Structure 1
């Protein structure tokens, strides 16, 4: 694939070494404050210090550690760029895995295994490897870069990006844009002629998070008696309505750009109501064309012959940019007068320009190392640490590049069993990220 990188040889060894080392730190985030990123944060701080940077470790609570370091660029008039990755990972049940999920094992096929191989210790390793290579080669990026290695992304970010943005905004004062996870990886689709086509989605938007708690009240009583005021029945009916609701199409500028570019690549006219012409690439946009609300938890009762007074449910809602009013009005209607709902956790949607110089630099970096690849914009169905930084005036993009083979299943392996990344794909990602950061 493509051109020669300006990185030194050691960088390509270090990016593998650092990914393995970071995976071996068990930074599992179980939510509710149960996590420990301290050892991984200290590791990142040491590697940054060895490259001549002056990292600081910031904590809201013991062992919920964040690392921030700044590298001055060559253009003092250019705004700074925030480059961030989270240190925590979702849980992994070792019994379900083919290898120890915290082993960092490399197999005979050149696959590096472990929780965080994709999401997102590989990106953290690329950040460290790039800045250390720059120090050895005595090169600096055009823009000043603030590197942040962050806790608690896999929960509600209270110990990570929310804490940093609220309590330590001074570290990000002159940052106008940020890049982080979930973009720049290879997605394979079939062209109109039947050939394999390498697509690189770059995230320029995120649906908003709208986690909901539903509650119903009724009259408690003996379950053998007639009771039309049954809290469980009321809640079940509302949950069923929410689960069956078909949300209307709401096409945002980022998703419109994505569909139009993907349609052109597949040789079809863009059709926002029928994505079948996009082949496998329909997966990149199908969840972001509308709001959504998926029931996930129901709780009620304590004995089979007792009708409880209360019943509750939880719903994972996601909201497209501009869709907030519709979302709330629809929930009022679907819940009806007998069920109350409230936000248990909420993040605003994010949408960034796809015609900016920064987005163009990401496209160009991919094309430099894969001239036959096709970078396209897309909107993430979920969310990242980019959202808490938005109130600071930081426009967020998802760009943690990886070169992946056909059939790899990026979306399936992130948070999934047997998470892994190709060593050569990791090195490809380092080349792309380095080129982008030096020129952005």
Structure 2
């Protein structure tokens, strides 16, 4: 079991990493190196030999291998990203890069996404070093850059240019899983991610005839774009159930003493009440317009207008996603992928999932573990190119009044100290036995 120093260090490291502003604004505007050096120093303190790797100066990744006791066993990848999304200090109760610890809470950007998990990994490995503990299988630990954008400077670069560092890795764990989901009836549900929707970020471009704003113009690029964006935004995508989502619905239905009736999924979701929130965004594809660019003067009709759409698709549903967009966008607007990644699925009946379940249940005996599919994506997408099956497992025991999902990329991101302590204990238990 993780020692008391590990419980102290996970809080210290979470706060310390938050204080390093690793804001990723996209387009290469980020510098993760200070956080990478911080993590590397602590890995050295755990007796490891970390490598610092960069595709672009300042965009630093850290990779280290922990030797297991069974050289014949497959290796396990344990990864977390060092970058964070932007935060506007004026909107926050505390400065988002203060790492302030107040009333048993650690505040700041990255407290849940995902410098807390980075700190857990560091604390566990240092605890093992003090206790002389070795895992059964090799662990490859990776702290990555650029997850909050394209991953080109992070996991994508590592997978493409340094695949040898991940030799033997067949499974991996990363962010967003094994957190407490409160269903409003007193039950605590711990969803472990066993799938991710694919990412299809789109750029739409409409061309038309430029001209004076006072003239009739039947080839207005803005009008053409607006019509396409409206059709996308108003489209209702059909239900599509992946094996992971079916497993989620089946296990949730059993938890509430009912059968999972897949002939009427909407009715089933209603019966699940608040717990449907774990599933409802992953039963179909989605496409949400997010940005518009057009024009330079009020009385000038531009010859071009551009929009961006955040698209996500389920495993096996990318072809439907593409053909539907072709139809919705129409002939007057072209589209292309600004960024694209595969949808992922991981088996929920695998031994590694059972070990994650057991680790959570040891420290949350009244909790109910279920698999789920993430609405978005993680670095697991890039590592999947190396044959690594990815799961979301960053354990946290959270109070009912803390909305975990709302804290991702939200204002006043924070994590309780007790949640970090729980995470270290669960992660320690899992990694020892995995």
TM-score range, shorter chain: over 0.9
SS of residue in 2 equivalent to 1:196 = coil
1:207 has 2:197 as partner: yes
Once the two structures are superposed, the pairs formed by residues 141-290 of structure 1 within 5 Å of their partners are 141-190=135-184, 195-271=185-261, 272-274=265-267, 275-290=269-284
SS of residue in 2 equivalent to 1:133 = helix
1:293 has 2:287 as partner: yes
Q: Distance in 2 between matches of 1:261 and 1:179?
A: 22
Q: Contact 1:210/1:347 (CA < 8 Å) preserved in 2?
A: yes
Cα deviation 1:298-325 (Å, max 9, x = unaligned):
1222222222211111111001000011
1:226 to partner: Cα distance: 2.0
Cα deviation 1:200-245 (Å, max 9, x = unaligned):
0100000000000111111222222222122111111111111000
Q: Contact 1:201/1:378 (CA < 8 Å) preserved in 2?
A: yes
1:16 is aligned to: 11
1:320 is aligned to: 314
Q: 1:417 aligns with which of 406, 411, 418?
A: 411
Q: Distance in 2 between matches of 1:305 and 1:150?
A: 47
1:106 to partner: Cα distance: 1.6
Q: Distance in 2 between matches of 1:360 and 1:220?
A: 61
Q: Distance in 2 between matches of 1:213 and 1:257?
A: 34
2:132 is aligned to: 138
Q: Distance in 1 between matches of 2:301 and 2:91?
A: 38
**TM-score using structure 1 length:** 0.96
2:377 is aligned to: 383
Q: Distance in 2 between matches of 1:432 and 1:287?
A: 28
Q: 1:60 aligns with which of 49, 55, 59?
A: 55
1:352 has 2:346 as partner: yes
Q: Distance in 1 between matches of 2:46 and 2:208?
A: 63
Q: Contact 1:319/1:349 (CA < 8 Å) preserved in 2?
A: yes
Q: Distance in 1 between matches of 2:182 and 2:413?
A: 18
Q: Distance in 2 between matches of 1:247 and 1:257?
A: 21
1:344 to partner: Cα distance: 0.8
**Unaligned 5+ residue runs, structure 1?**
1-5
Q: Distance in 2 between matches of 1:101 and 1:224?
A: 47
1:47 has 2:45 as partner: no
Once the two structures are superposed, the pairs formed by residues 299-318 of structure 1 within 5 Å of their partners are 299-318=293-312
2:364 is aligned to: 370
1:3 is aligned to: none
1:36 is aligned to: 31
**Unaligned 5+ residue runs, structure 2?**
none
1:165 to partner: Cα distance: 0.5
**TM-score using structure 2 length:** 0.97
1:431 to partner: Cα distance: 0.6
Q: Distance in 2 between matches of 1:13 and 1:226?
A: 69
Q: Distance in 2 between matches of 1:253 and 1:67?
A: 34
Cα deviation 1:388-428 (Å, max 9, x = unaligned):
01110000000000010112100111211111111011100
Q: Distance in 2 between matches of 1:221 and 1:36?
A: 43
Q: Distance in 1 between matches of 2:223 and 2:75?
A: 55
Cα deviation 1:263-309 (Å, max 9, x = unaligned):
22123333522312112111111110000000111122222222221
RMSD, matched Cα = 1.0
Q: Contact 1:231/1:309 (CA < 8 Å) preserved in 2?
A: yes
Once the two structures are superposed, the pairs formed by residues 94-133 of structure 1 within 5 Å of their partners are 94-108=89-103, 110-133=104-127
Q: Distance in 2 between matches of 1:330 and 1:146?
A: 40
Q: Contact 1:268/1:277 (CA < 8 Å) preserved in 2?
A: no
- Corresponding residue pairs, total: 430
